[in-house]
Structure 1
Amino acid sequence: MCNQARFLAGAIFSLGLVVSGCSSVPYDGTSGMTDSNVRTSIYSTLDSTALVYTNPAAGAPADDNPWRWAGFVMHPIGVGLDYVVNRPLYSISSTFPRATGYTNEDAMLDAYRQR
């Protein structure tokens, strides 16, 4: 009973520290930011490993590279080409496996990999 009370008291104290940690900081989220340097960030300031193990370019602003917009425009075209060109070729090759080089040995290896 005493151990449970200590655990509960420790949990409540820890939760209180976590919840009240940022409440005393007078930060409105916009201080020091102008329109030219506003960055969209996917990182949490409390996650110390986020900036170590991830790519910093992932949090870059959307207008930093003109090729990004070309990718946004070309993506639906690429998906359409996938459905018009690639998928029919995949269905044809699955209909005639010997003509495309898919043998019984490949089927055996695929079945072995799925285990």
Structure 2
Amino acid sequence: MTQLTDNTWYTSDYISPLQLFIRLTRGQLQPGKFWRKASFRRKFLIRSLVMPRATSQLLTNLTQWPELNTLLARQPRLPIRLHRPYMAVNIKRDFALDALCFHYQQMRQLLSREQQVSYLSQYGLNLAK
């Protein structure tokens, strides 16, 4: 008998960046309550069409996470980070994209699988005591 103690950990099947984009814009994937609103998804679609390369690169980076569903559940605004001012208004989108991708690549490389699970859990990862 298996007991589930944390219902926020889901392993996701690999999906392509295009599939992720389509699921988000159609409302098939709703990682947060605001994704339920058609107007929010429409803004995501329009902003993505305005900056297709950056959005594609971010979604490509996100789909490399084996626990993508959990990551999006914990950070539901992650796919729209490039569509909003990031860190500061005067930072170029390419730099913001590089910073985001670098951050999540480092997380995957430096944290063990157990630490990643803890980081994405309801309680988070305690780095210092």
Larger Rg, first or second structure (1 or 2) = 1
TM over 0.5: no
Higher relative contact order (CA 8 A, sep 6+): 2
Query: TM-score band, normalised by the shorter chain?
Result: under 0.3
TM-score relative to the length of structure 2: 0.21
